[in-house]
Amino acid sequence: MFTKLKLITLSLCLFTVQALAADKATEDKIKKLIASMSIEEKVGQMTQLDVREVSVTGPEGVAVVKAEKLKKIIHKYKAGSILNAAGQPMNIEQWGSLISAIQDEALSTEHQIPILYGIDSIHGVTYTAGSTLFPHNIGLAASLDLELSNQIAKVTAMETRASGIRWNFDPVLDIGRQPLWSRFEETFGEDPYIVEQMAVGMVKAYEQDGLDKPTAVASTMKHFVGYSAPDNGKDRTPATISDKDLWEYYLPQFQAAVDAGSSTIMINSASINGVPVHASKHLLQDVLRDKMGFKGLIVTDWEDIIRLHTRHRIAATPREAVKIAIDAGIDMSMVPNEMSFFEHLTDLVKSGEISEQRINESVAIILRLKFELGLFDNPYPEQEAIANFGKKQYQDLALESARATMTLLKNETLSKASASILPLTKNDKVLIAGPGANNLGPLHGSWSYSWQGSNEERYPESTLTLVEAFQAEVGADNVTSFAFTGYDNLANYDTDGLAKAAENVDYIVLALGEGAYAESPGALDDLTLDKNQIELAKAAALTGKPVILVLLQGRPRIVKEIEPAMKAILLAYRPGSKGAEAIVDTLYGKHNPSGVLPFSYPQFTGDHSTYDRNFLTNVQQLNVSGVSFNGHKPQWKFGFGLSYSNFTYSKLSLNKSTYSADDKISVSVQIKNTGDKAGEHAVQLFLSDLYASESPDFKRLKRFSKVKLKPGQSKTVKFELTTKDLSFVNSALERVVEDGEFKIAVGDLTKNFNYKK
């Protein structure tokens, strides 16, 4: 045994020595390369361009390299990186041709530095035909299934790499606390802990095999920081966030992803407290580099350096904008469609306004990433990676994950003596209606074979609409469709036509919500469903047939006016390529829903308070008449979700009643399925600091676990917390734990305990 232990120790030491030697060899190569590069070549490495700058649209509508354009970009402007931003999705062979042509030209230069190609693969590979598209992050958060999200990230990494691309602009670490924001669907919701747990798992899934392996890609934490909290809800607009809130809610998930080893980070396009983040040396250097310890690549978002001049107006000229951004700490500029960045930065270095040593730092980071990704060894699409593309099990995973997101918000009975309306039976006659019923965009949302996701013709023929999924499940004879192609097609809102179509059915399934959109085109002033959809829902209810509302949307659209008339409501989010099947499986009981809301679902646009601060929004005005005014009351609370089973909690216990600094807080609770169907349930543990020197959060989610139970089955679930979980960030920006009383809540059970240093 001792000999075996010595051999293991010796092997580990040898591996460490070899790794250190390899790292030193790489660093030596980087230093030698930088020493031999011209200023123009160094600035070129910091320049990222849109693929349309080196290509034209070919006869099949896909990008084809234009030799003259590519030569100019590579040889004159020395570009080091290219990204994909728009255009027709390409198959694996077309991607191979494009990437190979680009790398051929890059390797024809003196230093043979390969191109680093980046892409937004947010819920699967956006621009590759035949790729697997999974639920958007907002739905994954509802699943509370970390293993599932990790598997999705791994498949996304493999299919991205199979496309010849080794840098993915994901995961999104923006916290979804402003539902008007048009990128809400890309977030993991309003809770920092869920965001942190999902993001860390995805970073590891993307990178942990080793960046040079054909199953990995470089991840990108984005968008650092506060991007998702615009004051007016519009994309890329200013946010007002206190330093205290920044450290409490917006930075912890980035710190966790940095600690997990994420290679790159993309910066918030907007400003915080009047300072554009791309210009903030405090955030990029003092916070990100010095305090958080990030050593990887800092990349801008689209056009964000020149916008310091054109939008933020803190730079009198584009040249000054470049200087400000580079001084702040930017390593690479997503330019992406003109060459002023290259020209200005080159001039700034040659004039001595920016030191060559400063750009050497960024170039070293960029070259290091290229070495780590194996691009210097082989920059071309790898056969091992291509072999991982389009496997059947990926579609199975897409269905499993779509099912896991399904969140049942309402399920009424038709009478006191009857069972709940759901699940349906296959003998029921069903009318399918609404703008989401016969269109694929609402199922997928943004970054789905196109930037906006609204190009219906780009989806694979195998992808089913909701109507087609119903027909496949119960037969065309049991399904009547009153749904038309085109989300804005006025035929979808013909209330008289709907009433006539409903005459001979038992139920109406109404698919409402939002069409597909991405970024600014999805801007809203009001979260309320548009008038046409409201009137359609009212007309459906007036038929007297029970209405089942299916919501296909990337953010909470307000349904307060129509909710009382709906007999059942299923929130499907953006469920992806197998979303229609997952919805049908849920409505017919093949899948028992277990999703829970990862955000507080508001009743009013102006009241989108988050669950952790709810008690502070309740205004209680007590006077002689005893009048009391209660504030925030969501349509549905954070963490809410129904099941076809019933679950009860008992035996909540703690290992101690008083804890001190180094203690572990062990929590145990028993959960039982008291229903007649097997089901999965999300056990959520909340913690409340009852009194503190500064107003504490009402409660915070600290742990969660998914539990599968058969009818009548019980299981004991155990959680372990540390005293760090009791901490908060005070006004001095210190994370502190104070003596006092705390409360644990799991389900309908609570338990109090004390902390004393």
Catalytic center residues: 301
Residues 6+ apart with CB under 8 A from 374: 166, 211, 212, 213
- The helix or strand, by DSSP H or E, that contains position 327, with its residue range, turns out to be helix 318-328
Amino acid (1-letter code) at residue 565: A
Report the candidate in 6, 671, 48 with the shortest Cα–Cα distance to residue 332: 48
CA dist., res. 329 & res. 282, Å (int): 10
Burial of 613 (0-12, 13-18, 19+ CB in 10 A): middle
CA dist., res. 555 & res. 466, Å (int): 20
The side-by-side arrangement of strands in the sheet containing 679-689 is 658-659, 749-755, 740-746, 679-689, 700-709
CA dist., res. 149 & res. 398, Å (int): 11
Dihedral sign for Cα atoms in the order 669, 670, 674, 680: positive
CA 47 to chain centre: 26
CA dist., res. 545 & res. 543, Å (int): 5
CA dist., res. 179 & res. 605, Å (int): 9
User: Is the preceding peptide bond at 223 cis, omega within 30 degrees of 0?
Assistant: yes
Report the candidate in 485, 510, 507 with the shortest Cα–Cα distance to residue 495: 510
CA dist., res. 211 & res. 371, Å (int): 9
Residues 6+ apart with CB under 8 A from 461: none
- First-residue to last-residue Cα distance in the chain: 43
CA dist., res. 496 & res. 486, Å (int): 19
Q: 85 near 451, Cβ under 8 Å? A: yes
Q: Dump the DSSP string for 716-757.
A: EEEEEEEGGGG-EE-TTS-EE--SEEEEEEETTEEEEEEE--
Q: Name the β-bridge partners of 706.
A: 682
Residues 6+ apart with CB under 8 A from 313: none
Q: How many CA atoms lie within 13 A of 381 on its CB side?
A: 25
CA dist., res. 591 & res. 406, Å (int): 9
- 3-state DSSP: the chain helix, strand, coil percent, rounded to 5? 35, 20, 45
Two tokens at 537?
């829902």
Q: Name the β-bridge partners of 218.
A: 167
